[in-house]
Amino acid sequence: MKRCNVCEKGNMEQVDDITLEIEGYVFITKGERCTICREEFPFEQETAKIILIARKLGIWPEPLKLYRHLSKSGSGLVFRIPNDLEKQLKLDEKTEIAISKLGNKIIIEPLS
C-alpha cells in the first residue's frame, strides 16, 4: 500500500468523495485520501475533467500570459510589471520578490 507523502505515516486509500469547490461550484471526484492526516489527492484524470467543465462554465480562466519587452538600464535589463497586476497582487516598491529559473522560464514571486 502507498504511504502518504504529507505525513509519511498513513496509507493512501482510494475514495470517490473528494470535494473540490471552484468559484462557488462544488465538484465531487475520485482520488486518494490518507488514513492518518486525511490529506486528499484527486486523480489527475479526474482533475483534468473538472478543469474542462469549469472552463466551459467560465469559472476557470486560461492562465495569464502577458507579452512585454525588456528595457536596458545600466548593465542590466528591466522588466515592468503592469499596473493591473500590481494592484491584484498588492505590490509596491517595498515588496521583496524572489526570482527563480525553472528550465527556460523565469518565475517571479512576491515574498510577503
Q: Give the residue extent of every domain in the chain.
A: 12-57, 71-110
Q: What's the CA gap between 74 and 76, in Å, rounded? A: 6
pLDDT digits (tens, 9 = 90+) for 67-94: 888 999 999 999 888 888 888 788 999 9
The CATH number, out of the four listed (1.10.3470, 2.10.260, 1.10.8, 2.20.25), of the domain defined by the range 71-110:
2.10.260
Average pLDDT in the chain: 91
Buried b (16+ CB within 10 A) or exposed e, 92-103: eeeeeeeeeeee
Asked if the model's pLDDT at residue 10 lies above 80, the reply is: yes
Neighbours of 31 (CB within 10 A): 18
Q: How confident is the model at residue 1 (pLDDT cuts 50, 70, 90)?
A: confident
Neighbours of 33 (CB within 10 A): 19
Q: How confident is the model at residue 12 (pLDDT cuts 50, 70, 90)?
A: very high
Neighbours of 4 (CB within 10 A): 19
Give pLDDT, residue 112.
67
CA angle 63, 68, 73 (to 5 degrees): 135
Entry pTM: 0.55
Buried b (16+ CB within 10 A) or exposed e, 63-78: eeeeeeeeeeeeeeee
Give pLDDT, residue 62.
72
The length of the chain in residues reads 112
Asked if the model's pLDDT at residue 65 lies above 70, the reply is: yes
